[in-house]
Structure 1
Amino acid sequence: MNRHDTRGGPSARTTPDGLAFRDLNGNGIMDPYEDSRLSAEERVNDLLPRLSLREKIGLMFQTVIEMGPDGELLAESGVFAKSATATVVLDKGLSAFNVHAIPSARAAARWNNRLQALAEQTPHGIPVTLSTDPRHSFTESSGVAFTSGPFSQWPDMLGLAALDDVDLVARFSEVVRAEYRAVGLRMALHPQVDLATEARWGRQLQTFGSDVDRVRAYTRAYVRGIQGPRLGPDSVATTTKHFPGGGAQKDGEDPHFPYGREQVYPGNNFEAHLAPFADAIAAGTAAIMPYYGMPVGLVRHGRPIEEVGFAYNRQILTGVLREELGFDGVIVSDWELVTDNHVGGKLLPARAWGVEELAPAERIVKLLDAGVDQFGGEECVDVLADAVAQGAVTESRIDESARRILLTKFRLGLFDDPYVDEDAAERIVGNAEFRAQGLRAQAQSIVVLTNHDVLPLDGPRSPLRIYVEGVMPEIVAEYGEPVAAPRDADLALVRIPAPYEPRDDLLLERGFHQGSLDFRPGLVSRLARIAEECPLVLVVDLDRPAILAPFLSFASATVACFGVADCALMDGLSGRVVPSGRLPVDIPRSMDDVRKAMPDYPAPAADALFARGFGMQDYGRRQEEVHSADASDARRFD
């Protein structure tokens, strides 16, 4: 161990007969909840009656926490953290936190150990559970996902879906588990198993696409890979989201924001969106997160569903999730359903869709009645304490949720050893083997949509003179000679993002790509002029399925990516790694078609410009072009 390692913590003790334990309540003896030989259920049965109401309420909140650059505990509030670390741990009694920026593996491990040591100062030493949004790919948007930083970098989830390889998903999730555990992250706020059926929706890059069978298979593999065969000390707990499926957004707008609060099902396809959650439950997911959206016009088994956000919806959480699907794990709400969030000069209203008129205490009561166990993004413990004092919430209801949350902590082994080794963290996180696997997966996930004899780039014309936009010239220089103008080039390589409508009124809105999928006419014209000078290879980063039709008449090759670094892109375009990706979503022909489509149901394959499942294998030299979303495939959504 190194000098910064505090494994075992200040409470480490040994019984007279030599059994190691953590004296978490400081009474000098090993109480049953401190005895690692007992089952999680036995330990919860001992601990729960010992806890004060205040301690139990603290378990039911999970908020954002931030670390200092060298792993320091923050002595004051941060950018997104509402309170100083000591305040939320010691004064408010919280023990579940969602961490944002991670500067390095060593800093994260050091910070975890300091945070766990701080938690030992609480009356019963309840350890902290650290959670995270996805952080192994390319997306950087607070509240959604983070770029990989010190962790190994892989394709975004749509890129993994493009590979249609369940074994690779299982391997990826095992890597995630190893890297998370090394720094003390023990709960993943993923997988996101929503069906990407609305082309404009800004959250689909973190999904597994629109094919319900693929999403179900990937869900099983992902949960088992991160948690293992059962939840235990070697696991990272998964939080499968967004129940009961968040993809059916009206006009593709996201319910983080008031204008996107409605989910609609004109295709009567609710059950397909629900299906992957049954697989997550069968695989043992520890937690499930409902989405913000409110169903509009949804009728199920002849009964209208209340038009309130899903976390507020008793028919959905208790009726469907608990009673029909048999889930008895933790239901953690998505962030900030109770109070508004202010950061700097920006506001994000509480996502209390359908119950906006309720006061915070009334919202908490309705969330608990619906079935929520833990309030995401909140630390308003006094509001819940007052509700209990006024008789609006019973202590027995608090005990139900506290029990579920404690069971997860005990099963993860956090009560026995929540500490990590800094040296091991630095050795494991982002190691060469993991990074190589991630880069290869990126290159393989590339989808070649069109190719008129220009790919791969290692043909007889090499070394090529290449005009480059959107790719680092120093990387392209390994494959040819970058030149300054298309007229001097043998080939132009241009990489562009998918289009979106920039918005920056509400907090977080800037990070969401929403609105029209049409490219600007000026961009199309400029690229057409480049293609008049030399063959154009167009690479499009599809965080949403953009309208590519305007480019097909002049691009010599069109390539789709879902999270690919420049070096992996060049490996794929050159043939060092042969791309094998197939589209995980449909590419529509026009925005008119998008507007006419049903948000809950994928359009017929014949209506797409490129249908889900399409991809030119071996650059089209073997002419294996596949349209998997044919009529028989579409029937799976009935």
Structure 2
Amino acid sequence: MKKIFKISGIVLAVVLFLLILTGFIGYGRMSSKAKGNYAKLGEKAPELTIDGVKFRDLNKNGKLDVYEDSRLPVEERVNDLVAQMSLEEKAGSMFITMIGMTPEGNPIDKPFFSSNPLDFMMATMMPSSSEMLINKKMNSFNILHAHEANILARYNNNVQLIGERTRLGIPITIASDPRHGSEHNPGAALSTPTFSQWPTSLGLAATRDTLLVREFGNIARQEYLATGIRLALHPMADLATEPRWGRSNGTFGEDAELSAMMTKAYVLGFQGDSLGAHSVACMTKHFSGGGPQEKGEDAHFPYGKNQVYPGDNFDYHLIPFEKGAFPAKTAQIMPYYGIPVDQTDENVAFAFNKTIITTMLREQYGFEGVICTDWNIINGTAVGDARAWGVEDLSPLERTKKVIDAGCDQFGGESSPELIIELVDSGQLTEARIDESVKRIMRDKFKLGLFDDPYINEDEANQVAGKEAFRELGRLAQAQSTVLLKNDNLLPLKKGTKIYAEGVIDSEVFGTLGEIVSNPMEADVILKRIGTPYDERDAYFLESYFHQGRLYYSDEEKKEILDLISQKPSIVVVNLDRAAILTDISEASGALLADFGLSDEVLNQLLFGELSPEGKLPFELPSSWEAVENQHEDVPYDSKNPLYEFGYGLTYQPEVVSMN
């Protein structure tokens, strides 16, 4: 037996040694490759002074080219630049994907020690930063990290310097999903504590306040600018007409007119009245409306590929674009993954669908901006197959051609410019067609002022992002968005009320105006915070982040809630990332509130009347699962006998409107 253990130990040691050796060899190769890539770069752009005005000599030729001259019209600069670009540079510009940064704000080119799983994923499952920036000649990227503001700013400056040192000095466009809420979902939203914290889009819609939404956009714009983010991969103009849909929380609810108002205000807040150096460009999504998912299943996953219209209500989902995104002059548009079943001449997903992209978006609506696909519709990755719904049988090369033929300009989540080069070299696409898309992409860079100065002040980033005045407005918006669904003369509470709290993050907060007790039987009231129910799933990458399936609480979940709140007068606060079936909980509670991103601090002030809940439901709350199953995916507020109707919301007058 001892001999067996000894042999096993030797084998284990050899295996461990080989793994370590393999790791060192791989690390060395990656380091060497990155060093070789950076050696291909030229010098920084020299500065030219002409008539007392300073310019950047981006192509380092010692003279002022048209595209380098900030005094000239944008179209002249775009045409001059594209005429100088090689096919490889054009192809690289037509891709935008995720890119990583170290905690110090440097590009990731090789693995490094980190406790953050995102760092490991970006270092091992994605092409290196130098590979994409230098070899693939890409110049648009989506960042996922949520570091401090000065680190995000430093990263911007580091990658902009790399862009400056390329042949033509094309600047980098840094993009991001929403960052101003508490949700963290790498496929949809990124919690970033360094920024001010606001309610979700559902919460913004619950306020019914377009001035507030525009002010949010203006504040978010300033925080993005301070950290180098120049492209917002939002808002979502989709409609949550299907209550089971896992992305309802990113929308402005199920009413098209309300969504249009909110979308317009949101885009104007980020972009201003016109796109300029002061702006953050918006990529509004998902044309032509990504909400009516069959049985609510999301199109990120194969089982959710179909969008269905049993109510023949396709046109209703266009209203937020017609009356919101387009009048606000959104810079860019993203179509969704789904297949609009039987709505066009072929059942293929939106980005592959020429009727949707060219006939409708380009011709009918006259949209001239960038159209970028949703992520990973061409190639599979280490974590899943391509979301090429309706064209699964096509090769990546054929899919790429079909997307471009449909009328799209840029590929999200992809880094395969070699496919476009092959299509042009083989005569399947003309370079003139590629030029059309590249001009749109470069036009936004010029309008945003990136060619003139893409750098930002790292020291000022922390002073702007998350400053107290912004956070204060975010907290007030949280209160304003909260919906009071029921109140049996329980709220507001009297100062000193004894509270037993469950489901809160910081129970001590409630001791500032009341008294916290550790036993429900010692309490005057019970406070219970709960979330929206859902089916737990993890068969596909990202699936665990998307709350889908049931809207009812399981027997076990419901018993736990009801057993607690039946002991004393109770206040239930439910965070709604989708509609929830609250019938039994509503009946048993003394007060019921719905929140869309509400800190314990603000909740405390709401409970004691220092602030008042003012929100109105952005969607109806169904009374039963049967009603949910019988409603139409594409039709708003159509479940039978809803518990609370769209637009419902009570209120009470606050004693003092103050955050102090």
- TM-score range relative to shorter protein: over 0.9
Correspondence for 1:440:
476
Cα separation, 2, equivalents of 1:537 and 1:423: 45
How far apart are the structure 2 equivalents of 1:413 and 1:128?
11
Structure 2 residue runs without a partner (length 5+): 1-42, 112-118, 656-660
Q: Does 1:331 align with 2:371?
A: yes
* TM-aligned CA deviation for residue 385 of structure 1: 1.3
> Which residue matches 2:315?
271
Rg larger in 1 or in 2? Answer: 2
Q: Residue 501 of structure 2 is aligned with which of 458, 468, 487?
A: 468
CA distance in 2, matches of 1:275, 1:523: 38
Match of 2:203 among 147, 156, 159: 159
Q: Deviations over 1:107-128 (max 9, x none)?
A: 0111100100011121100000
Which residue matches 1:340? 380
> 2:517 aligns to what?
483
CA distance in 1, matches of 2:296, 2:546: 11
Residue of 360, 365, 377 corresponding to 2:401: 365
Whole-Å separation in 2 of the counterparts to 1:16 and 1:420: 24
Q: Is the 8 A contact 1:588 1:608 kept in 2?
A: yes
- The aligned amino acid for 2:107 is L
Question: How far is the alpha carbon of 1:529 from its aligned partner?
Answer: 2.4
State the match for 1:452 in structure 2.
488
Cα deviation for residue 605 of structure 1 reads: 7.7
- SS of residue matched to 1:500: coil
Task: Output the CA distance in 2 between the equivalents of 1:561 and 1:511.
Answer: 19
**Equivalence for 2:285:** 241
For residues 532 and 59 of structure 1, the distance between their equivalents in structure 2, rounded to whole angstroms, comes to: 60
Counterpart selection for 1:213 from 246, 257, 261: 257
Cα distance in structure 1, aligned partners of 2:50 and 2:303: 63
The aligned residue for residue 413 of structure 1 is 449
Q: 2:86 aligns with which of 52, 62, 87?
A: 52
Distance change >3 Å, CA 129–CA 620, structure 1 → 2: closer
2:326 matched to which residue of 1? 281
For the 8 Å contact 2:627–2:639, the answer to whether it is kept is no
Is the 2:246–2:578 contact (alpha carbons within 8 Å) kept by the matching residues of 1? yes
Does the CA-based 8 Å contact 1:58-1:381 persist in structure 2? Answer: yes
Cross-structure match for 2:30 = none
Counterpart Cα distance in 2 of 1:365 and 1:520: 47
Within the alignment, does 1:579 sit opposite 2:613 as a pair? yes
- Of the three residues 571, 592, 611, the one matched with 2:645 is 611
Structure 1 residue 330: deviation in Å? 0.2
| Separation in structure 1 between the aligned mates of residue 619 and residue 187 of structure 2, nearest angstrom | 23
Alpha-carbon contact 1:605-1:611 (below 8 Å) kept: no
1:42-68 C-alpha deviation (Å, 9 max, x unpaired): 001111111100000011000101111
2:543 maps to: 509
The aligned counterpart of 2:629 is: 595
Which of 318, 341, 348 lines up with 1:296 in the alignment? 341
- Of 197, 201, 217, the residue aligned with 1:173 is 217
Separation in structure 2 between the aligned mates of residue 150 and residue 16 of structure 1, nearest angstrom: 41
- Preserved CA contact (<8 Å) 2:91 2:417: yes
Q: Deviations over 1:582-631 (max 9, x none)?
A: 1000000111000000000013487211011000121799xxxxxxxxxx
Q: Distance in 1 between matches of 2:434 and 2:477?
A: 45
Counterpart code for 1:377: G
Which residue matches 1:399?
435
| DSSP-derived class of the 1:114 partner | helix
> Percent identity, aligned pairs only?
46
Instruction: Tell me how far apart the structure 1 counterparts of residues 245 and 236 of structure 2 sit (CA, whole Å).
Output: 14
In the alignment, the residues of structure 2 paired with residue 202 and residue 563 of structure 1 have an alpha-carbon distance, to the nearest angstrom, of 16
Cα separation, 2, equivalents of 1:322 and 1:166: 28
Correspondence for 1:226? 270
**Structure 1 residue 348: deviation in Å?**
2.4
Counterpart-to-counterpart distance in 2, 1:90 and 1:155 = 39
Output the CA distance in 1 between the equivalents of 2:255 and 2:337: 23
Cα distance per residue 1:3-35 (max 9 Å; x no partner)? xxxxxx932513253221111111111111100
Determine the structure 2 residue equivalent to 1:545.
579
Superposed CA deviations along residues 206-229 of structure 1, whole A, max 9, x for unmatched, are 111111111111111111111111
State the AA in 1 paired with 2:372: V
CA contact (8 A) 1:605 1:612 kept: no
Task: Give the corresponding residue for 2:418.
Answer: 382
User: How far off its partner does 1:477 sit?
Assistant: 1.6
Q: What residue is the counterpart of 2:563 in the other structure?
A: 529
Please tell me whether the aligned partners of residues 617 and 648 of structure 2 are also in contact (alpha carbons under 8 angstroms). Answer: yes
Give, as a single letter, the amino acid of the residue that structure 2 aligns with 1:540: V
Structure 2 residue aligned with 1:197: 241
Q: CA RMSD in A?
A: 1.5
**TM value normalised by structure 2:** 0.89
Whether 1:561 and 2:605 are equivalent positions in the alignment is: no
- Indicate whether 1:310 and 2:329 are aligned: no
Shift of 1:349: 1.7
Structure 2 Cα separation of the partners of residues 76 and 321 of structure 1 = 41
CA deviations on 1:527-566 (whole Å, 9 max, x unpaired) are: 3222332111111111011100011221111111111111
Contact 1:334-1:376 within 8 A present in 2 as well: yes
What is the aligned partner in structure 1 of residue 33 from structure 2? none
Within the alignment, does 1:492 sit opposite 2:526 as a pair? yes
Listed one character per residue, the Cα deviations across residues 336-363 of structure 1 (whole Å, up to 9, x for unaligned) are 0001122xxxx32211000001000000
CA-to-partner distance for each residue in 1:155-200, whole Å, 9 max, x for gaps? 0110111100010001000001111011110000011010110000
The match for 1:424 is 460
The SS at the match of 1:397 is helix
* Separation of aligned partners in 2, 1:490 and 1:349: 54
| Cα offset, 1:406, TM superposition | 0.7
How many Å separate the matches in 2 of 1:297 and 1:91? 42
Counterparts of 1:53-72 in structure 2 under 5 Å?
A: 53-72=87-106
The Cα offsets for residues 386-406 of structure 1, whole Å up to 9 and x where unpaired, read as 122222211111111001101
* TM-score (norm: length of structure 1): 0.92
Q: Which moved more, 1:432-441 or 1:76-85?
A: 76-85
CA–CA distance in structure 1, aligned partners of residues 623 and 550 of structure 2 = 13
Letter in 2 for 1:329: G
For the structure 1 residues 273 and 128, does the alpha-carbon distance in structure 2 shift closer, same or farther, using more than 3 Å as the test? same
Does the aligned pair in 1 maintain the 2:637–2:645 contact within 8 Å?
no
Separation in 2, partners of 1:532, 1:339? 53
Q: Distance in 1 between matches of 2:653 and 2:633?
A: 32
Any conservation in 1 of the 2:622–2:639 contact (CA below 8 Å)? no
Counterpart Cα distance in 2 of 1:213 and 1:16: 52
Give me the whole-angstrom Cα distance separating, in 1, the residues matched to 2:451 and 2:418. Answer: 26
Q: Distance in 2 between matches of 1:126 and 1:285?
A: 23
Matched with 1:356 is 392
Task: For residue 652 of structure 2, give the secondary structure of its aligned residue in structure 1.
Answer: helix
Shift of 1:473: 1.2
- State the secondary structure of the residue aligned to 1:552: helix
- Aligned partner of 1:469: which letter? E
Could you say which residue in structure 2 is the equivalent of 1:95?
A: 139
- What is the deviation of 1:443? 1.4
